Chain A
Amino acid sequence: DARVTQTPRHKVTEMGQEVTMRCQPILGHNTVFWYRQTMMQGLELLAYFRNRAPLDDSGMPKDRFSAEMPDATLATLKIQPSEPRDSAVYFCASGWTGPSNQPQHFGDGTRLSIL
Chain B
Amino acid sequence: GQQLNQSPQSMFIQEGEDVSMNCTSSSIFNTWLWYKQDPGEGPVLLIALYKAGELTSNGRLTAQFGITRKDSFLNISASIPSDVGIYFCAGQIRGGADGLTFGKGTHLIIQP
Q: Which residues of A contact B (CB under 8 A)?
A: 4, 31, 33, 35, 42-45, 48, 55-56, 59, 91, 93, 95, 97, 101-109
A45 CB contacts on chain B under 8 angstroms: 99-101
- The 10 A-B pairs with the shortest beta carbon distances in the complex, nearest first, are A101-B96, A106-B42, A45-B99, A43-B102, A103-B48, A108-B42, A106-B43, A42-B104, A97-B97, A108-B41
Q: Which residues of B contact A (CB under 8 A)?
A: 31, 33, 35, 40-45, 48, 50, 88, 90, 95-105
**Inter-chain residue pair count (beta carbon < 8 A):** 57
Give 8 CB contacts A-B under 8 Å: A33-B99, A33-B100, A44-B102, A45-B101, A97-B97, A103-B96, A104-B45, A108-B41
Given contacts A42-B105, A43-B88, A45-B101, contact A109 B96 (CB under 8 A): no
Q: Secondary structure at chain B's binding surface: helix, strand, loop or mixed?
A: loop
B88 CB contacts on chain A under 8 angstroms: 43
**Cβ-neighbour of A103 out of B33, B101, B102, B103 (below 8 A):** B33
Residue of B nearest to A103 (CB): B48
**Cβ-neighbour of B45 out of A44, A55, A105, A109 (below 8 A):** A105
B48 CB contacts on chain A under 8 angstroms: 103
Query: Are B96 and A102 in contact, CB atoms less than 8 angstroms apart?
Result: yes
